[in-house]
Amino acid sequence: MTDQPWLLYSPVEPAREAPRRGRQGIHSFTWSLWPWMNWLLPVVGILCVGNGGWALLLLLVVSPVLVPAAGLLGSLPRFVLRRSGAVTTPAPITALLLLQWWAWGAAMITPPGATDGSPIPAVMQVLSPLPISGGFLSAVLLGASLIAVSCWIAVLVIAIVVASRAEPARRQGAKGWTAAAWIAAFALPLLLVATIWLGGVVTAQQRDAAGATVAEVQALPLSEQAARAVERHDRAQAQLSAVRGMIAEDGWELSSRGIDTRTSFSEAVESYGFDLRFEHRASPGESVDADAVAAELLRQGWTEGERGAIVDPHGNVVEISANDDRVWVSLSSPTWWGDAYDLFEELGGYDPADGAFEQTYAYDEWPEL
């Protein structure tokens, strides 16, 4: 037994201060939820990205590597904190994790699917009561992915800083970060709903070749939309007739007619246009110089388009091609909002046996729409 009592005591290691019970609720919950989200999000992402189709098959093939890699990367900051003795999520990390999970969720539901047939709508498009354009989906995918990656980097940096402290200092802003975490927990799900709603609103403001928005056109009676379609069709035919008249006055045969569907993924709204085509059989000894016709149209104020096409002031794209005994002229009109099938039915359609493709036309004649 020694007569020096101080030799009987060993210094006590400074212990981490347990978080106050009034503040630890959301941080402890996030700490417990963290490992589950690290592994569930990649699985949910595989099922949501592309909404099925070929993307699902490809992701299933790489899932044995993709899911563990994503899970381990997501677990890295938590592993750093656990090595330092943490038993709950630091306040700043809680808010960042909630934002990161929301961003990954938003990014997962934006890619559309693809098959051998028609495209598969993205999950966000399925959830929306209004059409959402591909441009909006791409913007959400890019923005949400940047937010998610930035949050993960920030979480990792904060975890390393917190773990490197020998004795964690009391952060003056902990209450503020806790409030931010609670706000994020309730606001971010609402923000996802608002994002889907905003997609429909933004898409409805897209303008067609006439400068009309989707909402404006959809508010019109179908009869008014059909009347506009007839007017646009006749205007396009008149432009094509001017070109036909420079080549031959008669003997024109119809190759293409009617309203064509122009709906695309990037717009996600029903749209239509006209693809008109006539051909003329040259008489023996007659020849057509398509380049000379195009040059004359350019002198009249038309402009050059792609692959030798010429564009009139209304945006109609005209192509002229010829060989030794035949010349073809075609016109592709701009695109306007409207359901081509509904417009066709409203106009009464046409009888395929009406002989429009068997008869010949003068340069200023064409079948009705």
Beta bridge partner(s), residue 280? 252, 327
15 within a domain of the structure (yes/no): no
Do the domain assignments include residue 53? yes
d(CA 353, CA 240): 24
Q: Give Cβ neighbours of residue 181 (< 8 Å, ≥ 6 apart).
A: 26, 27, 30, 91, 94, 95, 98
Of the candidates 67, 99, 81, 73, the one whose C-alpha atom is nearest the C-alpha of residue 28 is 81
d(CA 42, CA 72): 11
For residues 236 and 268, state if they share a domain: yes
Mean pLDDT of 291-310: 84
Contacts of 157 (CB under 8 A, 6+ apart): none
The percentage of the chain sitting over the pLDDT mark of 70, rounded to a whole number, equals 87
What mean pLDDT do residues 262-279 have? 81
Together in a domain, 123 and 256: no
The answer to whether position 159 is within a domain reads: yes
The per-residue pLDDT for 275 is: 92
Which of 204, 239, 262 is the endpoint of a domain? 204
305 contacts 357 by C-beta, under 8 angstroms: no
Residues 122 and 179 in one domain: yes
Model confidence at 37, in pLDDT bands (50, 70, 90)? Answer: very high
Whether residues 195 and 236 share a domain: the answer is: no
Strands 271-273 and 303-304: unpaired
* Chain mean position to CA 109: 11
* Residue 367 within a domain: no
Cβ-defined contacts of 67-72 (< 8 Å, 24+): 67/39, 67/42, 67/43, 70/38, 70/41, 70/42, 71/38, 71/39, 71/42
φ, ψ for residue 281 (rounded to 5)?
-90, 120
Looking at the structure, do residues 224 and 348 belong to the same domain, yes or no?
A: yes
**Assigned domain for 4 exists:** no
Same structural domain for residues 253 and 144?
A: no
Q: Phi and psi dihedrals of 109, rounded to 5?
A: -95, 10
CA distance 20 to 179: 15
Question: Among the three residues 204, 228, 248, which one is the final residue of a domain in this structure?
Answer: 204
Is the separation of the CB atoms in 130 and 205 below 8 Å? no
Instruction: Categorize the per-residue pLDDT at 118 as very low, low, confident or very high, splitting at 50, 70 and 90.
Output: low
Asked whether residue 5 is assigned to any structural domain, the reply reads: no
Give the model's pLDDT for residue 268.
67
Residues 280 and 332 in one domain: yes
Q: Is residue 209 part of a domain?
A: no
Residues 40 and 187 reside in one and the same domain: yes
Same domain, 142 and 229: no
Judge if 343 and 264 occupy the same domain: yes
pTM of the model: 0.70
Residue 333's domain comprises 214-361
176 and 64, same domain (yes or no): yes
pLDDT tens digits for range 271-280? 899 999 999 8
Number of domains observed in the structure of the chain: 2
Backbone angles phi, psi at 37, to 5 degrees: -65, -35
270 with 333, same domain?
yes
Q: Which of 157, 178, 204 marks a domain boundary?
A: 204
In this predicted structure, the answer to whether residue 4 has a pLDDT above a threshold of 60 is: no
- The answer to whether position 10 is within a domain reads no
